Amino acid sequence: MRILLTASTGLPREKIEEITQALPEVECIIVDDTLEAMRNAMPHTQALIGCPRPFFSKELLELAGNSLRWIHVPGAGCEEFLIPELIESDVVLTNGRVIQGPEVADHALALLLTLTRNIHFVLRGTIGTTIARPSDKMMPRPVELRNKLAIVVGAGGIGMLIAERLHAFGMTVYGVDQECIPMIRSIDRWYVPECLSEVLSLADVVILSVPVTSRTKKMFGAKEFALMKPSAYFVNVCRGAIVDTEALTEALKQGRIKSAGLDVTDPEPLPVDHPLLNMENVVITPHIAGPSDNNRERSAELIRQNIERFVKGFPLINVVNKKLGY
């Protein structure tokens, strides 16, 4: 059984040896992250793990032919892989959702706390100078999270971990998702996406953690920002395409919302002269929520388990619904 792993997957050699020793019928082929290497290695491949996103195409699927049965995307987002040829095929697609959950949830809170505690004002005002306590005239009063209401839009694996952290700060948390899981104690109330507009006006904090699909692209635009409180904080740690960037920029300029913490933007990166880059009420990080000191270990273990399941014919973990996009 031929399994192709790209170098960027980061699977440790000892993990590969563990797999091949336990499953001698498996041949793990490691290829460089180049299109030429991918093209040469695809024929007769039965499983593809970690294809660089820009390289995935109809051509690669055709090179593998009917032998290809499984593709694994190490990250949570897999929108680049959902081309018509894959969607209509029998090839199973899995991803790394929840693998990156703890660090993305941590990052969402880091962005939020940077804004609520005015850390961004302090850093901008003290770079290259001695640190002095700013006066209230220089920046707004810091905000406590306790007893505030947060809405987590996309309360799946990552969203639930965000909700856990918000709940620990004493916040009431509403989850917005297609599926509700009533036994999750960190989410106080559930709403389907169609009801989002009914609750946005209540939120002190809105955090996005939804996948990119045809239904979620630009789901946050001028209408949604107009419904939010002028004192509300907005955080996006999923994909920039979920948000209408022009509408967000205007909402921040006009004071329709208070602040935004963004790990993702559309386009990404933003042009150097984009207004969002120079706004005092905006914190932007360059799509760094995913990495951590532990996530490669979790990713490697998921890959190991799924290779074993694939060989033995068991259901795979984290199967993506290709038609829904997540």
Given the residues 80, 250, 268, 297, select the one marked as catalytic: 268
pLDDT tens track for 77-105: 899 999 999 999 999 999 998 888 999 99
Q: Do domains 2-98+293-312 and 100-284 have the same CATH topology?
A: yes
Residue that wins the pLDDT comparison between 182 and 313: 313
Is 2 in the active site? no
**H helix intervals, 101-244:** 101-116, 119-126, 157-168, 196-199, 222-227
The rounded distance, in Å, linking the Cα atoms of 8 and 30 is 10
Q: For a pLDDT cut of 90, what percent of the chain falls above it? A: 81
Q: Where are the domains of the chain?
A: 2-98+293-312, 100-284
Q: What's the pLDDT at 137?
A: 64
State whether CATH 3.40.50.720 applies to domain 2-98+293-312: yes
First to last CA, the chain: 27
In 10 A of CB 285, how many CB atoms? 15
d(CA 25, CA 2): 9
Q: Which of 2, 72, 165, 239 is catalytic?
A: 239
Percent of the chain at pLDDT above 70?
Answer: 96
pLDDT for 127 beyond 60: no
CATH superfamily of 100-284: NAD(P)-binding Rossmann-like Domain (3.40.50.720)
Is 53 a catalytic site residue?
no
Counted residue by residue, the chain has a size of: 326
- Please state, in angstroms and rounded to a whole number, the distance separating the CA atoms of residues 225 and 222: 5
Of 287, 296, 298, 309, which is the active-site residue?
Answer: 287
Write down the pTM of the prediction.
0.90
8 Å CB contact between 209 and 156:
yes
Using alpha carbons, select from 95, 93, 4, 86 the residue that is nearest to residue 41: 4
Average pLDDT score, the chain:
93
Number of H helices, E strands in the chain: 11, 12
Question: What pLDDT, on the 0 to 100 scale, is given for residue 98?
Answer: 83
* Residue 308 annotated among the catalytic residues of the structure: no
Q: Provide the pLDDT for residue 130.
A: 57
